[in-house]
Structure 1
Amino acid sequence: MKTKILITGATGLIGQEIAKACLEKGYKIHYLTTSKVKISNEDNYKGFYWNPKEGEIDKSCFKNVSVIINLAGASISKRWTDSYKKEILESRTQALQLLKETIKVYGFKIQHIISASAIGIYPDSLINYYKEDYHEVSSSFLGQVVSQWESAVDEFSNLKIKVTKIRIGLVLSNKGGALLEIAKPIQFGFGAAFGSGKQWQSWIHIKDLAELFVFIKQHNIEGTYNAVAPNPVSNKELVKAVAKVLKKPLLLPNIPKSVMKLILGEMHELLFESHRVSSRKTENLGFNFKYHHLQKALRDLFPFKTNYIQK
């Protein structure tokens, strides 16, 4: 019997890529979704409804499942009102609580949970080089969210389930996410770095990220791992590299922090926090990043001078 993997957040940007990588390796996918219209009933890709906020879950999603890949959580790329900040946190912790309690009550035989986390747990710094054993947690909103998110994942070990946490950096994709938001103004001649431009951006190509999740499952690895490419860059380098691949000039001065705070509110932290994060522990597992350097990653995502950045 083929291994069945239950994925939460499978219909999102990262989830779709991970599901695709799992299917290519011959795994069967069960996935949970809060949208009934996104439920499929294919042999290898079957959807089930849940509503963590209301404590609802279709328990058949666990049938013959041995591994959970957890990606559930509200997007952080919306304005952080007080009510939305609550949703960002609770969408992560409530989802994990519901999974854990359902497994416990019904005795489902789950062996391993591999959960998304984020490098936002590390404090903002231009000089630190963060490894997984760094224990100080960022005092920022995202740092506190990630800390509570990871604590909720750790509770699965009480059910004798192996726990793996994947701290994800800036995900590069041409189908959505941060890269397209960076590329859009550049495409139209309005690109610029943020603040000093010196803040570190630890990034990862979405294909490498998906392959890392599959690698962790295949090798039954537990622990905490950074999902970042081996060569982080500054914000200025990132913006310049995108402009070069798109064959567009950068004409504007750097955008001041005060301006973005006015436009985005507290969410402006996403653009100005600096995280230089190590991939060494991940590489020491034997995982090989296909996209080590930013230029190679960008050339793969934008293979020729493009005009399709329209989202």
Structure 2
Amino acid sequence: MTILITGATGLVGTELVHNLLAENHTIHYLTTSKHKLLQEKNYKGFYWNPTTQEIDVNAFDQVDAIIHLAGASVAKKWTSAYKNEIRTSRIESTQLLFKTLQTIPHTIKQIITASAIGIYPSSLEKIYHETDTQVEASFLGEVVESWENEVTKFETLGILVVKIRIGIVLAKNGGALQEMIKPIRMGFGAALGSGKQYQSWIHIQDLVAVFKYVLLHHKQGVYNAVAPYPITNSALTKAIARGLNKPLFLPSVPTFILKILLGEMHVIVTSSQHVSCMKLLDEGFQFKYASIDKALQHLLKS
């Protein structure tokens, strides 16, 4: 199978590309950096610039499916300018893919896009499923909703659309876990806010498996990419400290302090989304790292 991937050099993209190449799939990838363009047998780079709406249409040659991961990180200070970048990097890139496919002959049957569980309203009580339509009344909620709406348009081209709503990705080589580890290793670990907020997480290997599952089984619709057992921030902090064999003695960091330190982006660590993966489980998908202890045992070992 030939797969076109955007965001191929990011945390998830790197792992996904490595996995797909190992199974002899052909990868085309889009990059805004011309020095990253490679032309190998099964791994070929093509230039695009969503801001100027420029794209090398050769990227779509004999492609069966698109996996769309591109988007500016939400884990940087949310200035007005950067909030605009978070939004436009997702919207403009999606619009460019759609407009291009409207105008060229192509063989694409499916598009799989990264989305986020941040679309769901923060709640300490509710468990969210793919059928829930409420949207968090926040910047992140608005961005994810707009992003998903742009992807839905591909259905008008007869293309299967899959939206993967991703939880907190736990990985060795970057992402949220590595940021959580730093203060705990230094002896300054503490829960954030009330510590009661649910954090629906997923091991990066299971996330890659979810993308492969919907790709190889030609799925469509929304899928929550989270492990079966969400955990509170307090319990997650304790589990990491336990895995590192480090003490936890500091009180929780109050929400008002997080607001001062992080500004509006404090919602990333203080909002609560208890998200279900029952749809995947009902279809027979099996998680390799279903429990937080098993995931951390793998990720924290040297």
Q: TM-score, normalising length from structure 1?
A: 0.96
* SS of corresponding position for 1:53: coil
TM-aligned CA deviation for residue 82 of structure 1: 1.0
Paired residue for 2:284? 286
Q: What are the ranges of 5 or more consecutive residues in structure 1 without an aligned counterpart?
A: 305-311
Letter of the 2:162 partner, please give it.
T
Residue 4 of structure 1 deviates from its aligned partner by 0.4
Distance 2:227 2:169 in 1: 10
Aligned pair count? Answer: 302
Fraction of identical pairs, as percent: 53
**Is the CA contact 1:119–1:168 (under 8 Å) kept in the aligned structure 2?**
yes
Q: Which residue of 2 aligns with 1:144?
A: 142
Contact 1:21 1:211 (8 Å CA) reproduced:
no
- Deviations 1:68-110, CA, capped at 9 Å, x for gaps: 0000100001111111111111100100100011111112221
Tell which deviates more after alignment, 200-209 or 36-45. Answer: 36-45
**2:36 aligned with 1:22:** no
Deviation at 1:287, TM superposition (A): 1.0
Distance in 1, Cα, partners of 2:215 & 2:130: 19
**Counterpart-to-counterpart distance in 2, 1:174 and 1:188:** 18
Three-state SS of the structure 1 residue aligned to 2:211 is helix
**Does the 8 Å contact 2:120/2:273 carry over to 1?**
yes
Q: Structure 1 residue runs of 4+, over 2 Å off?
A: none
Distance (Å, rounded) in 1 between the aligned partners of 2:14 and 2:169? 13
Residues 193, 258 of structure 2: 8 Å contact kept: no
Q: Which amino acid aligns with 1:249?
A: P
What residue in structure 2 maps to residue 72 of structure 1? 70
RMSD in angstroms over aligned alpha carbons? 0.8
Q: Deviations over 1:117-172 (max 9, x none)?
A: 00000000000000010111110110110000100000000101000000000000
Q: Pick one of 150, 153, 170 that aligns with 1:172.
A: 170
Name the SS for the 1:166 alignment partner. strand
| Aligned counterpart in structure 2 of residue 185 of structure 1, from 174, 183, 186 | 183
Is the 1:21–1:214 Cα contact (8 Å) retained in structure 2? no
Q: In the alignment, what sits opposite 2:243?
A: 245
Distance 1:46 1:287 in 2: 30
* TM superposition score normalised by structure 2: 0.99
Counterpart among 71, 84, 87 of residue 86 in structure 1: 84
> Could you tell me which of 274, 277, 280 is aligned with 1:276?
274
Q: Which runs of 5+ in 2 are unaligned?
A: none
| Counterpart for residue 114 of structure 1 | 112
Q: Distance in 2 between matches of 1:194 and 1:122?
A: 20
Which of 8, 11, 19 aligns to 1:10? It is 8
